């Protein structure tokens, strides 16, 4: 399995999905070797689901790590999952420009610390110390370097199928499949059309398309995404299957926390997600303005970070509601649970959301939910409010209805929480196992 991220290093829903899926696979007895294209620290204070034990380097393999053991905070091991960290600057949801900026920042830091080595034409003119060796200043070069490292890793592993999550790992999946002859499954959690609308990055689109066409099977997280894969990438229908995400049950109910900067009689409307074009933060603010025109005892909390953060803060000020909007930045672990406990309503106004795990988490915390109709999770949830992302008037009307009519809020909370219990990672793992069996069977030579 090739993925971008895994707890405790969470940037978005993909890490949560990888954790839930691999844990459920482990419980089914499926042996999983998980490769991570990123540097992993062993003393991270943000561990939420798992605790990592220190890895040791493989002699003669720069950038490779021995298997990492992951353990849940409660002491439960993922018995059938082992982890390899391939050193890389690749980060989930990064653009090529953000990657290059990250690389330059690393170079400056190494230079300031006196750890910058001699010029090396293979690495954008620099060779740095072992902790940053083999990094590339170009994102696409780095993706292919990671693919080569994945092939070296695969040569030492015993496995039957390759499972690659999202576009950054597709070249690695293709390379491993080519060398080993093993079947390839690619998992589409998001597409370039979701992230960029019609202004797609052509090179990223090409990587996505090549991965989907090279795969023996394509898994999408919703029928919404499946339709994009069929119409925008030209993949044949019988090759693409939908496997819905699940949610970890919330078994740790805590008393409400103190509401810093919020009056006791104020209602809380929550936006939790990356503050990017895809998530529709501007529509959230325009709806907030309409709500505040008729209600005053409401605060809007925007939890997350992203490339639209600065513009969103400026927009709140321009709309004259800056004093009513709180920006928390990116939240991890217990802070996520705390912000859910504060919320009276969770709103996800995404422009294009392949699935959307956050609404499931909100329902899991007894928070009523309002989602855009342009989201995959809308396919599986009935007891939530739904609205077109662009219809801020209707969005505001539904927010006001929830706040003004407690019976509506109670009904959404109770029925939504009951409904979300049906979405289990165990079901997703079983569906993936069925797909694995199918591609393995089809890959066997005909006698």
Instruction: List, for residues 119-178, the tens digit of each pLDDT value.
Output: 443 333 323 333 444 556 678 888 888 899 899 999 999 999 999 999 999 999 999 999
Residue 23 lies in a domain: yes
Asked whether residue 216 falls in the same domain as residue 153, the answer is yes
Judge if 65 and 97 occupy the same domain. Answer: yes
Domain contains 1: no
Residues 394 and 367 in one domain: yes
Residues 238 and 278 in one domain: no
Domain span at 311: 267-420
List the beta bridge partners of residue 353. 375
Shared domain check, 301 and 193: no
Residue 281 sits in the same domain as residue 241: no
pLDDT tens, 24-74? 999 999 999 998 876 544 334 333 333 333 223 333 343 333 344 443 333
CB-based contact 226:240 (threshold 8 Å): yes
- Residue 393 in any domain: the answer is yes
Residue 5 lies in a domain: no
**Do both 65 and 118 map to the same domain?**
yes
In a domain, 251, yes or no: no
Domain assignment present for residue 122? The answer is yes
Question: Is 3 contained in some domain?
Answer: no
What are the Cα distances from residue 77, in Å, to 193, 230, 345, 380?
37, 39, 35, 30
Domain total in the chain = 2
Contact 270, 301 (CB under 8 A): yes
Considering Cα of 383, then 359, then 21, then 161, what sign does the dihedral take? Answer: positive
Q: Same structural domain for residues 39 and 149?
A: yes
Does the predicted model carry a pTM greater than 0.85? no
Give the pLDDT score at 111.
Answer: 65
In a domain, 123, yes or no: yes
Tell me the mean pLDDT in the region 3-8.
Answer: 75
Together in a domain, 229 and 308: no
CA pair distance 413, 345, nearest whole angstrom: 9
**CA separation for the pair 35, 3 (Å, rounded):** 6
- Residues 20 and 145 both lie in one domain: yes
Tell me: the pLDDT tens digits for 386-417?
999 999 999 999 999 999 999 999 999 999 98
Check which CATH number belongs to the domain holding 45 and give it.
Answer: 3.40.50.2000
In a 13 Å sphere around the CA of 145, the CA atoms on its Cβ side amount to 22
Domain check: are 361 and 393 in the same one?
yes
Q: Are residues 189 and 322 in the same domain?
A: no
Residue 378 has pLDDT above 60, yes or no: yes
């Amino acid at each position: 399995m090739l993925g971008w991220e895994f707890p405790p290093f969470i940037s978005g829903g993909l890490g949560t999905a990888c954790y839930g899926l691999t844990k459920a696979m482990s419980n089914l007895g499926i042996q999983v070797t998980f490769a991570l294209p990123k540097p992993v620290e062993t003393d991270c204070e943000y561990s939420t689901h798992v605790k990592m034990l220190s890895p040791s380097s493989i002699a003669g393999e720069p950038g490779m790590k021995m298997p990492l053991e992951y353990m849940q905070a409660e002491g439960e091991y993922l018995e059938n999952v082992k982890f390899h960290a391939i050193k890389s600057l690749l980060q989930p949801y990064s653009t090529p420009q953000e990657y290059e900026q990250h690389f330059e920042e690393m170079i400056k830091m190494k230079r300031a610390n006196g750890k910058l080595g001699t010029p090396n034409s293979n690495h954008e003119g620099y060779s740095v110390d072992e902790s940053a060796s083999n990094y590339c200043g170009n994102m696409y070069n780095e993706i292919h370097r990671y693919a080569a490292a994945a092939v070296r890793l695969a040569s030492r592993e015993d496995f039957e199928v390759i499972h690659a999550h999202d576009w950054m790992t597709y070249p690695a999946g293709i390379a491993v499949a080519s060398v080993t002859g093993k079947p390839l499954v690619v998992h589409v959690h998001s597409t370039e059309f979701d992230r960029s609308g019609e202004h797609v990055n052509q090179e990223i689109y090409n990587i996505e398309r090549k991965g989907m066409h090279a795969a023996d099977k394509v898994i999408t997280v919703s029928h919404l995404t499946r339709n994009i894969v069929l119409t925008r990438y030209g993949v044949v229908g019988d090759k693409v299957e939908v496997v819905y995400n699940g949610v970890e049950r919330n078994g740790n109910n805590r008393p409400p926390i103190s509401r810093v900067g919020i009056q006791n009689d104020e209602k809380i409307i929550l936006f939790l997600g990356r503050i990017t074009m895809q998530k529709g933060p501007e529509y959230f603010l325009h709806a907030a303005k309409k709500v505040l025109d008729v209600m005053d005892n409401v605060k809007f909390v925007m939890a997350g970070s992203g490339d639209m953060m600065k513009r969103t803060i400026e927009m709140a000020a321009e709309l004259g509601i800056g004093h009513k909007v709180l920006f928390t930045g990116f939240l991890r672990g217990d802070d996520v649970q705390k912000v859910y406990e504060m919320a009276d309503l969770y709103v996800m106004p995404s422009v294009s959301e392949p699935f959307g795990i956050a609404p499931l988490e909100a329902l899991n915390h007894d928070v009523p939910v309002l989602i855009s109709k342009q989201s995959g999770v809308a396919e599986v949830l009935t007891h939530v409010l739904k609205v077109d992302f662009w219809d801020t008037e209707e969005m505001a009307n539904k927010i006001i209805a929830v706040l003004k009519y407690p019976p509506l809020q109670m009904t959404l909370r109770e029925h939504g929480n009951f409904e979300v219990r049906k979405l289990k990672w165990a079901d997703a793992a079983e569906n993936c196992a069925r797909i694995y069996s199918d591609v393995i069977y089809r890959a066997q030579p005909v006698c």
